[in-house]
Amino acid sequence: MFLGSGMPYSSHPPTTNEPPPNAAPFGAGWVPPMQQNSPYSSTPPYPPQPSHHQPHQPHQPHQYPPSQHGGYPPYPASSASASASYPYPNSNPYPMTQSHPSPSPSHSHSHNIHQLHGGAQTAPYPYPGAQPATNSPYPTGSGFTPAMTAGYDAGHGHGHGHGQWQGQWHGHEHGHGHAHRSPTAHKEGTPTLFPAQGFDPVKDAHDLRKAMKGFGTDENALINIICRRTNEQRQEIQRQYKTHFGKDLIEDIKSETSGNFEKLLVGLLQPIVDYYCAELNDAMAGIGTDEEVLIEILCTLSNMEIYTIKNQYLRLYGAHLESELKSETSGNFKRLLTSLCTAARDESGRIDPDQAKDDARELLKAGELRVGTDESMFNMILCQRNYAQLKMIFQEYEGMTGHSLEKAIKKEFSGDIMEGLIAIFRCVTNKADYFASRLHKAMAGIGTNDTQLIRVIITRCEIDMSDIKVAFERLYGKSLKSWIKGDTSGHYKHALYALVGEQRSS
């Protein structure tokens, strides 16, 4: 069929709106590229490189699978040399011994691995997994895996990996040199909200219209549909709603609901990247800045996720996120956020025990062993080292001093910079504990910070809310449900119950 004929190109309907199997929800943070027995490690984050034995071909753009949201992520393609725009240095992030060649099945594969380790050629796009820019704000489901929260267990990745990654770390994992993969499998987070089985977006759209049509609103129907579908499914419902009724679902929700119940439903209906952007924008809008929101978002996401948010923020608000952060913050805290916003953390997953000892000593000399504090050393190490390496650094520091680095940070720093560094520390050691503390802070004391409560539940329910619930009860002695019951009411309370996987109660 010809383009413009109005007929499909094949007998199969387009599948660009279907999420790829085992795609990780946006906001999950960094995951090691080679996780044994993990569905998230099958696709390497680099486009394949040509073999030495392949005949020269004219340059063709790499073909990528369609995004789970349609289109491709908004990362700018390289217009000149890849190395000029690639945000990471080709050299290792800290001194390493020379890696041993992997027993790869072919010379072509060895060549690919050499390039991934800083060989002469680099990926054709400025970010691992980046693809040609379009107007889609969504990350692709293939090519990067910001899956599962870091820090539930002692390790980040193990084994030999799968597919194209097979053997990449073989030499390191068998003790050759100092750099190697963390030996313990990376534990996955457990969500409380799963994709609805037998999902029918057309039926859901009609049921929502029926719930809001005429006199009165059926709030229970809104909860049963909107709060029991994933973000991906909610976007499809919105498309069908507009197609069938010529109306915007979010605008109808705003006209039929109010208060925190409205705020929650509207937040759920936004594409998740847009929601993060809106939260950052609101945190910096008007008089004053909500630094805790900036910390919560920027200190917990992967490079790819921060990169995606930066691009979409520019599209939505016509301003660069980094410039906005700089204008709203100052001093050491501004430098911390600028480092994080650069999205240049090492995400190799490699660990180097000798370097961990050196870094722990540097942190000790920059803080507790001197008068005053060398904030730049804390900033450099905590914003640049990968999560597995940071965990080892923290263990070395505690072994040297007899107390945690968190205690040292509280002693040496104050204010927003202290909160930011502690957030990084907690996300490395146990991300579930960190978000449990955010929920507790939202509800503790007089009054409830509903914006914070809503944000944490919306962003974590598809990632690790089940783990957060366990951590919450362990840390505070009561269940998350009991705290929600004591601080919220009505349909708002029941909607939160649905999102955190609790049964409705009176």
Spell out the domains of the chain, with CATH numbers in brackets. 201-269 (1.10.220.10), 272-342 (1.10.220.10), 345-412 (1.10.220.10), 430-489+499-505 (1.10.220.10)
Handedness of CA 334, 336, 340, 346 (dihedral sign): positive
Please check the confidence at residue 406 and state whether its pLDDT lies above 50.
yes
Q: Is the pLDDT of residue 429 over 80?
A: yes
DSSP 158: B
Query: What is the rounded CA–CA span in Å between residue 336 and residue 406?
Result: 16
List CB contacts of 99: < 8 A, sequence separation 6 or more. 117, 171, 172, 176, 177, 179
Does the pLDDT of residue 137 top 50, yes or no?
Answer: no
Stated as kind and residue range, the H or E segment containing 351 is: strand 350-351
Residue 6's pLDDT is 52
**Segment 190-207 mean pLDDT:** 96
Tens digit of each residue's pLDDT (9 = 90 or more) over 366-397: 999 888 888 999 999 999 999 999 999 999 99
Q: Confidence band (pLDDT; 50, 70, 90) for 259? A: very high
pTM, to two decimals:
0.69
Res 201 pLDDT > 80 = yes
Higher pLDDT, 129 or 261: 261
Q: Look at residue 402 in the predicted model and tell me its pLDDT.
A: 95
Q: Give the percent of the chain with pLDDT over 70.
A: 64
Question: By mean pLDDT, which of 96-100, 308-312, 325-329 is the weakest?
Answer: 96-100
pLDDT of residue 432: 96
Q: How confident is the model at residue 26 (pLDDT cuts 50, 70, 90)?
A: confident
When comparing pLDDT for 446 and 149, which is higher? 446
**Residue 133 predicted with pLDDT over 70:** no
Query: According to the model, what pLDDT value does residue 506 have?
Result: 53
Other CB atoms within 10 A of residue 72 CB: 22
The CA-based dihedral angle spanning residues 18, 24, 29, 32, taken in that order and rounded to the nearest 10 degrees: -130
* CA dihedral sign, ordered 459, 380, 128, 35: negative
Residue pair 499/461 in contact (Cβ under 8 Å)? The answer is yes
Bridge partners of 180, per DSSP, are 351
**pLDDT tops 80 at residue 69:** no
DSSP structure string for 454-483: HHHHHHHTTTTHHHHHHHHHHHHSS-HHHH
Q: What is the C-alpha radius of gyration for the chain, rounded to an integer number of angstroms? A: 24
- At residue 215 the predicted structure's pLDDT band, cuts being 50, 70 and 90, is confident
Return the pLDDT at 189: 86
Which of the two residues, 243 and 2, has the higher pLDDT score? Answer: 243
Give yes or no for a contact between 465 and 33, defined as CB atoms under 8 angstroms apart. Answer: no
Bridge-based pairing of strands 180-181 and 350-351 is antiparallel
Q: Rounded to whole angstroms, how far apart are CA atoms 345 and 88?
A: 8
Distance CA(34)–CA(56), nearest Å, equals: 31
Q: Which pLDDT belongs to residue 84?
A: 36
H or E stretch at 317: helix 303-317
How far apart (Å, rounded) are the C-alpha atoms in residues 249 and 241? Answer: 7
